[in-house]
Amino acid sequence: MSYSDRGAYRWVIVGAGALMTCVALGAMFSLAIFQEPIALDTGWSHIGIASAMTLNFIVMGFGGFFWGAASDRFGPRIVVLIGAALLGLALVLSSRAGTLLQFQLAYGVLVGLAASTFFAPMIAATTAWFDENRGLAVSLVSAGMGVAPMTISPFARWLISAYDWRTAMLIIGIGAWVLLVPAALLVRRAPEADGDAAAAEMPADRAAAPLSQVFRSPQFIVLGLTFFACCAAHSGPIFHMVSYATICGVAPMAAVSIYSVEGLAGLGGRLVYGTLADRIGVKPVLVGGLLIQAVVLMGYLFVSKLGEFYMLALVFGSAYGGVMPLYAVLAREYFGPKIIGTVFGAATMLSSLGMAFGPLIGGWIFDRFGNYSWLFIGSAMVGLGAAAIALAFPALPGERGRQALGAAE
């Protein structure tokens, strides 16, 4: 592939990746839309249905590591093809589930496993295609997650109103096959010549280091801990935001719109933070975004009106949405293209565990204290901890690495 062809095709990779993350993550998070209709139709408990989401995060975390390693070895196309087939199958099986256990296994396990085939492998594939504008490209792929609440969730709600939850889930499953299988066929591994050149920039000892050494390195430890703390900080507030706003006196339908504002802001934040990272370096943008996230989380303690919630949602959504793609850029800069899928998959596993704990801890806090104050206080403290950990990122050797991390000499 010529340089000009490579320059054009890399944006096809970005488009395919954005579509995949939108459909896969949108299908997974649409469980919130399906929960009440499923409970009314089947008599299954709300906590039993909602537990499928916890399973999603746990399985997605471990699956991200497995599929990331598989994409390094076999290439991203076969991985996302498997994911496209599996996601449609999981949703079809979930729509036919006759018992709660069958639903939990199909939706909680299979959907989570399918969703994990797209995020880490496609982010890793994108970093390999881009030498310039890497932060922006990764942010655009990740932007699919921000678009999902504005597309898949409303579509699911319309289908449920027009038909019933089983038909709606079946249609979304078939739609996943129709959209994702062709998109997966467009995915290619970055040309080897460019990958070899990028690998040559890495120190010889790191390029040849075994994975056991990589996972014990200060670079990965800081990356993984920051990613975990970042997600643990915002997952609880995101999940419980609608309930918190309702308690503060916001009308239920208006409270739901706060979540949509966060998603829209996250889409813009990914573009802004990704562009800034390309211009001034990843590390200062990441640390700044984590600090903003922590401050805004504390700010939720002092709001009660819808307009105030909207203002904080714009800043909060742009911050947590903007920093998420930057971890992949750091992983690529530290460890090069050869093992990026494995490394970022492992980091994603830690982040998913952080996401899984937030909603559960938030629910426990509310049951224990009758309000969410300690959730936001604790989340803000964890967010500040994430920023502090991020400051410990070791500098990369070489001028390009120092620029990428924003380290001053």
**Sign of the CA dihedral with 355 first, then 228, 311, and 406 last:** negative
Residue of higher predicted confidence among 68 and 310 = 310
Neighbours of 378 (CB within 10 A): 19
Matching residue, tokens 């380290």:
407
On average, the pLDDT of the chain sits at: 83
Judge whether 362 and 237 are in contact, CB under 8 Å.
Answer: yes
Least confident piece of the model among 31-35, 105-109, 244-248: 31-35
Fold of 1-201: Growth Hormone; Chain: A; (1.20.1250)
Amino acid in position 408: A
Cα angle, residue 225 at apex, residues 223 and 228 outer, rounded to 5°: 105
DSSP 392: T
CB 177 within 8 A of CB 297: no
Domain 203-393 has CATH 3.30.465.10: no
Q: How far is the C-alpha of 282 from the C-alpha of 171, rounded, in Å?
A: 40
Give the mean pLDDT of 72-99.
Answer: 93
Q: Do domains 1-201 and 203-393 have the same CATH topology?
A: yes
Where do we find the tokens 């492992």? 346
> What is the Cα–Cα distance from 71 to 63, expressed in whole angstroms?
12
Interatomic CA distance for residues 137 and 11, integer angstroms: 8
* 25 vs 82, residue with greater confidence: 82
Q: What is the pLDDT of residues 290-324, one digit of tens each?
A: 999 999 999 999 998 999 999 999 999 999 888 98
The answer to whether residue 347 scores a pLDDT higher than 80 is: yes
pLDDT at 207 over 80: no
- Reported as a single tens digit per residue, the pLDDT across 152-172 is 877 888 898 899 999 999 999
Question: Could you tell me the residue ranges of all domains in the chain?
Answer: 1-201, 203-393
pLDDT over 70, % of the chain: 89
Residue 213, pLDDT score:
84
pLDDT of residue 275: 85
| Cα distance between residue 118 and residue 123, in whole Å | 8
Predicted confidence band of residue 182 (pLDDT cuts 50, 70, 90): very high
pLDDT reading at 203 higher than 60: no
Q: Evaluate if pTM is beyond 0.85.
A: no
pLDDT-based confidence at 399, cuts 50/70/90? very low
Q: Give the residue-averaged pLDDT of 340-366.
A: 82
253-285: per-residue pLDDT in tens? 677 678 778 878 888 888 888 889 888 888 899
Backbone dihedral region for residue 309 (phi beyond 0: left; psi -120 to 50: alpha; all else: beta): alpha
C-alpha dist (Å) from residue 258 to 44, 306, 360, 375:
28, 8, 21, 18
Give residue for tokens 């996302």.
80
Say what the pLDDT of residue 374 is.
Answer: 93
Contacts of 152 (CB under 8 A, 6+ apart): 22, 23, 26, 27, 29, 30, 172
The CA distance from 84 to 117, in Å, is 8
Q: In this structure, what token pair is assigned to residue 309?
A: 């919630």
More confident residue, 190 or 302: 302
The CA distances from residue 136 to 16, 323, 342, in Å, are 15, 12, 22
Using an 8 Å Cβ cutoff, are 370 and 244 in contact?
Answer: no
* CA–CA separation, 167 and 393 (whole Å): 49
Label residue 35 exposed, middle or buried (CB < 10 Å: 0-12, 13-18, 19+): middle
Looking at per-residue pLDDT, the higher value among 24 and 399 belongs to 24
- Give the pLDDT score at 119: 81
Q: What is the pLDDT of residues 376-385, one digit of tens each?
A: 999 999 999 9
Give the H or E element holding residue 200.
helix 192-200
Confidence of residue 403 (pLDDT cuts 50, 70, 90): very low
